[in-house]
Amino acid sequence: MRISRRDFLKSASAMGAIAALGLKLPIIATAAGRAKRNAAATISRYFKSTCAHCVNFCGINVKMENDVIRAIYPDSARAEYYNVGICPKGVSGLFNTYNPYRIKAPLKRTNPKKGLDQDPGWVEISWDEAFSTIADKLKKIKQDDPRKLIWQHGHGKYLIGDKFPKAFCKAFGTPNLVHRTTVCEAARHVADELTWGYHGFLPDIEHCNLLLNFGANYFEGEQWARWLDHSTTDARERGMKVVVIEPRMSHCAAKADEWIPIRPGKDVLLILGMAKVLIEKDLIDKAFLIHYTNAPVLIGKEGRVLRNKDKLPLVWDSTTKTARPFSKEVMPALTGRYTIDGKTCRPAFQVYVDSLKHISPAYVEKHAGIPASTVQRLAIELGQQAKIGASVIMDGHRLRYRPVAVHTFRGLAAKEFGVQNWRAGLILQMLLGNIDAVGGINLHSVYKKPKYFKASKVEYPPKRIDLQESVYFPHATHNVAQQVLLTMADTRKYGLDYTPEMQIFYATNRPFSTADANKQFTGLKKTYNVVIDIVLSETAEFADIVLPDLTYLESWHLSPTRYTPATKHTAIRQPVANAYKLPHDGYSILWELAKRLGMRDDYIKQINKKWKLKKYPFKTGQDYTARQAVEHLWLEKTKGKKDFAYAVKHGFVGKKLSSKDTYLKGVEAKFKGPDKPKMNFYAEQLLESMNKVKDTVKQHRIRDIDLDKYAVAFSPLPNEEHGFPTPHREAASYPFYLITYKRMYRNQSGNTALNPILNQALGPDTNENFVLINRSTAKDKRIKEGDTLVIATRLGKVNAKAKLTEGIRPDTVAVSYHYGQQSIDFPDSARKGTWINSVLEYHPDVVSGMTSYNDSKCKVYKA
Amino acid sequence: MTKLVRVIDMQRCMGCRACIAACHVENHFTPGAPWNVMLEHEVGTYPNVRTVFATMNCMHCEDPPCKTVCDTIKVYAISKNELGVVLIDYDKCIGCKYCYAVCPYGVPQYNEKLSNLYPGKQATPYENINNDQRHPTHRKKAGVVEKCTFCWHKLEKAVAAGKTERIGKDQEYTPSCDLVCPVNARLFGDLEDSDGPVARYIGKKKATQLKKEYGTRPQVYYVTEGGDY
């Protein structure tokens, strides 16, 4: 008999046969015998769930041994829909739950003085006392003026969904629910909305051949990172070229075909420079510009679109040589100057071309620090690789084929002119015609909200504490997270006719996380604060009452997921443990408060509205546990096709999209051809909003709005002024550009600072941050590795440890923005590093409300 | 014969260190004694620079110098089993660190002292798993050397269940570092299976062993991408 060792080992009875065959397998035999005995002593179970460490919502498979969370693996069934693996935060997520620094009981402050240097004097109280105290205050506010309650969540949105808090606030009567997007990527969303009527896009990586990445860091951490990481890596192996454009060499740049170290804030100049080259070389998709965008519309005096008596925009018909609305008979001109009724006008595209007259590769070299030859080469490569005019047939559909994509996340967004930076990126892609094309960028829910094509209402006085969509931030459609506490510091200054009295923070550490962070804490001192969280973050240190939350491994939720161009899925999160036997999470806290406020049924009605529950609504008159709630949501979302037992067993259900779904339901369906709305190559609504701002400022004698600055931000086309944020113009004596970035091992909410794996096991460099400085710069300044440096901006100074690198521009320094925790309830080991946010200048994008993180300038010297 | 090997594709690795986190969660991390580390270094000068990411764990050499030295001094704490896994028996280890000294890859780690993951706080439920419920490789001891085991506690389960063919495929039978990689930069399996994914990957991508000049014949292969190692 011939038997291979491998075959032999396959047999469960192999060990018993070892002696009989005379084979010597002493080590394995002993071990296997032990393994069998151990298996009997250990009960292993696996649970499919969803990670909630960040906004990727990776599918996970949680391994329990004897009721202890033993390990977390990726859910392999999720690989074909989203994540192949999980990041170190997700892998070590059990320490998000098993963390002795967790809040284990409701806490009440005894020291009335609030400050980062103050001990709150916490005393434990019962849940009943906590709920009674909070509910009593809420009752008074509800009776007096419900707007005086502010609910703020950041990560909380992803722990229980924002629709429960939204339903609560609606039932309560406050408009003041504030999420975090303006400290993340809101400017990118708003640019999308102004341009194509909704937000969110992804490069069609599967078919893309050239990816230009402006500062997106999907190899470390941001939305869609756990799909972009493996999909771009696979695509590179089949030949896709990746060019990363950013001042600091991120992990993305470290693995790219080309890293182009651009000077901070100058991305828009490079994009305009490339556009100029593309136009000069005639490497543009004119058919796309004409049939999908408003590039042909005629622009008259003061930048306004010419319209006929029916308010339809006019184009110049090259056939009849007249100005007419776009129709089947009309051949719109893209260029030229025309006279209508004695007044000159130009197509929007011509306006754009004229606006580029000062821009050239040499200009880009001078201001953005990129060789003119590189600008020229990159533009031509982009234009040629776009294969303008090409098409492919997929599933019987002839589709436009433009295998180039421009991608960004915070790189173009976290700037004073974030909207204009990404508008420049979108316009560049309109020139290439790659939008919703095979291999281009794929838009999400095109023209879902036509109202985004209209001017802002430019509200005054502001209704909301964050000034959203008011005269201050007219197109801030994603709240203005960092503005709340600034307004709180002086509500009258902003024209509010009420002053909030209470803030509830759910799983957010906002004041710690934004620019000019120290200023944020002033606003926290003015209200009664309730914090719901798992650890005592900096925000919690300013609370009057702290309520402990369950972690993502201890609670139920219909989890958000991330679609891709070719897939979508629905998922749940389910509890696997309750480490400190806590009775409540964010969901049940809201439910209890609603009951105590006597508004449970109003809350339920609002839940049904916000979640759009039709077939499986919540019924008034009864309570729902978190599990019951998630069951309703799951059934509604899956249309009852998969019962809840399926969700509990598998954690998710996925769907593959057809090529029709991916490529033909976006701009093809909504914008292509005459008699349809068009993508806003030219964003006229910004001009209209600006005019309203002017009128409102004049009418109400508002003093603190600089109309000249607003006029720059509200340009209908991106231009060179958008490459010069305030500190670049004003802080001339501060020679270095200061940028921030995200590392894989931390988030800003505080709990990751307490994770021993992330901070002790991953290497000696993860428990604190440092200032990245170019080696040649360091040599000039006699700075050595590990020296303590002072980073001084116009706001103040911080110390940081020097890390010398070739991977950053010589005129730039970079510090990651999620270290240097200040909470006095954290151990020293978790407080290491530099809190760079405290010295970042605050110059928000006044269009979107986005915080600027990458516009500051600084001095750097040895401490 | 079965020869278990790991392939690490440095061309794909993005340096996230998820594999390191997975190793340390799976194997009851000893502070100061990591079983898996990430080496990062820059190649080139500004602006023509890139970073090389290399994760390093035990090479499970076919001719392991750690075992040779341990046997030479008659301690016999290090074994190499029939699946190619090199293991240290903590009960036999005398903490002499000779293995530590001779390993060309700097793998063995001396466990200076046992300590809570949260100093000054009560141990977590994860740390409180009793020794009798832990695999011997997880019964950590101060004063001995420890290192990567290829997650032997999983492999032996596969053997016990007669499912060695599922090694490298099923989560319960595959080393954890190889399970979590977000970019599929790691593979684990039987090199003797000539039609298996590991053997094919090594050939297709020209994977090689590190420091071959030492004659240790590592069972970890790397797809390198330039720079120094």
Nearest-CB residue to B15 (from A44, A91, A251): A251
- The helix (H) or strand (E) run that includes residue A142 is helix A127-144
Q: Annotate B85-142 with DSSP letters as a single string.
A: -EEE-TTT-----HHHHH-TT---EE------SSTTSPPPTTTT--GGGS-GGGS--T
Q: What is the pLDDT, as a whole number, of residue A22?
A: 33
- Which residues of A fall within a CB distance of 8 Å from B166? none
Per-residue b or e along A273-309, where b marks 16 or more CB atoms closer than 10 Å to that residue's CB: bbbbbbbeeebbbbebbbbbbbbbbbbbeebebbeee
The answer to whether B84 contacts chain A (CB < 8 Å) is no
Antiparallel, parallel or unpaired: β A107-108 and A404-408: unpaired
- Which residues of B fall within a CB distance of 8 Å from A46? 171
Tell me how far apart the alpha carbons of residues A98 and A784 are, in angstroms, rounded to a whole number.
Answer: 39
For B22, nearest residue in chain A (alpha carbons): A91
pTM above 0.90, yes or no: yes
User: What are residue A74's phi and psi, to 5 degrees?
Assistant: -70, 150
Give the other-Cβ count within 10 Å of A41's Cβ. 11
Contact A825, A536 (CB under 8 A): yes
Q: In the numeric block, which tokens belong to residue A805?
A: 């690198």
- Alpha helices, DSSP H only, in A469-576? 483-489, 510-513, 517-524
Q: Annotate A600-630 with DSSP letters as a single string.
A: HHHHHHHHHHHTT-SSSPPPTTS---HHHHH
Q: What is the pLDDT, as a whole number, of residue A32?
A: 64
DSSP A679: B
Alpha carbon of B16: minimum distance to chain A alpha carbons (Å): 7
Residue A268: name the closest of A373, A376, A422 by CA: A422
Contacts of A117 (CB under 8 A, 6+ apart): A824
Q: In the numeric block, which tokens belong to residue A306?
A: 């010419």
- The helix (H) or strand (E) run that includes residue A114 is none
Q: Distance of CA A705 to CAs A472, A694, A701, B95, Å?
A: 7, 9, 10, 70
Q: What is the pLDDT, as a whole number, of residue A28?
A: 63
The answer to whether A82 contacts chain B (CB < 8 Å) is no
pLDDT tens-digit readout, A422-432: 999 999 999 99
Are B179 and A73 inside 8 Å of each other by CB? yes
Contact A89, B182 (CB under 8 A): no
Contacts 24+ apart (CB under 8 A), A25-29: A25/B82, A27/B79, A27/B81, A27/B82, A27/B87, A28/B81, A28/B82, A28/B83, A28/B156, A28/B159
Cross-strand bridge partners of residue B86? B80
Low-confidence ranges of chain A (pLDDT < 70): 1-32, 34-40
Are B182 and A68 inside 8 Å of each other by CB? no
Low-confidence ranges of chain B (pLDDT < 50): none
Bin B80: left if φ > 0, else alpha if -120 < ψ < 50, else beta.
Answer: beta
Q: In the numeric block, which tokens belong to residue A435?
A: 């939008």
- Which residues of B fall within a CB distance of 8 Å from A32? 156, 159-160
- Which residues of A fall within a CB distance of 8 Å from B87? 27
DSSP A845: -
Are A756 and B31 inside 8 Å of each other by CB? yes
User: What are residue A134's phi and psi, to 5 degrees?
Assistant: -65, -45
Per-residue b or e along B165-199, where b marks 16 or more CB atoms closer than 10 Å to that residue's CB: bbbbebbbbbbbbbbbbbbbbbbbbbbbbeeeebb
Contact A537, A531 (CB under 8 A): yes
Q: What is the pLDDT, as a whole number, of residue A573?
A: 97
Nearest-CB residue to B82 (from A28, A762, A776): A28
Nearest-CB residue to B1 (from A5, A76, A577): A5
Are A85 and B183 inside 8 Å of each other by CB? yes
> What is the SS3 assignment for A172?
helix
Coarse DSSP helix, strand, coil percentages of chain A, rounded to the nearest 5 percent: 35, 20, 45
Nearest-CB residue to B51 (from A25, A229, A807): A807
Are B16 and A744 inside 8 Å of each other by CB? yes
Tell me how far apart the alpha carbons of residues A720 and B180 are, in angstroms, rounded to a whole number.
Answer: 45
Residue A274: name the closest of A402, A425, A56, A79 by CA: A425
Angle at CA of residue A374, ends A368 and A375, nearest 5°: 60
Q: In the numeric block, which tokens belong to residue A770?
A: 């440092």
Are B160 and A35 inside 8 Å of each other by CB? yes
> What is the SS3 assignment for A259?
strand
Contact A391, A401 (CB under 8 A): yes
Contact A26, A32 (CB under 8 A): no
Are B121 and A810 inside 8 Å of each other by CB? no
Q: Annotate A418-462 with DSSP letters as a single string.
A: HHHHHHHHHHHHHHHT-BTSBTSEEESSTTS-GGGGSPP--BSS-
- Which residues of A fall within a CB distance of 8 Å from B135? 38
Q: What is the pLDDT, as a whole number, of residue A137?
A: 98
Contact B107, B57 (CB under 8 A): yes
DSSP A294: S
Rounded to 10 deg, the angle between the A586-596 and A600-610 helix axes is: 130
Q: In the numeric block, which tokens belong to residue A27?
A: 């080590």
Tell me how far apart the alpha carbons of residues A183 and A190 are, in angstroms, rounded to a whole number.
Answer: 13
What mean pLDDT, rounded, does chain B reach? 95
pLDDT tens-digit readout, A683-706: 999 999 999 999 999 999 999 999
- Alpha helices, DSSP H only, in A525-643? 586-596, 600-610, 626-637
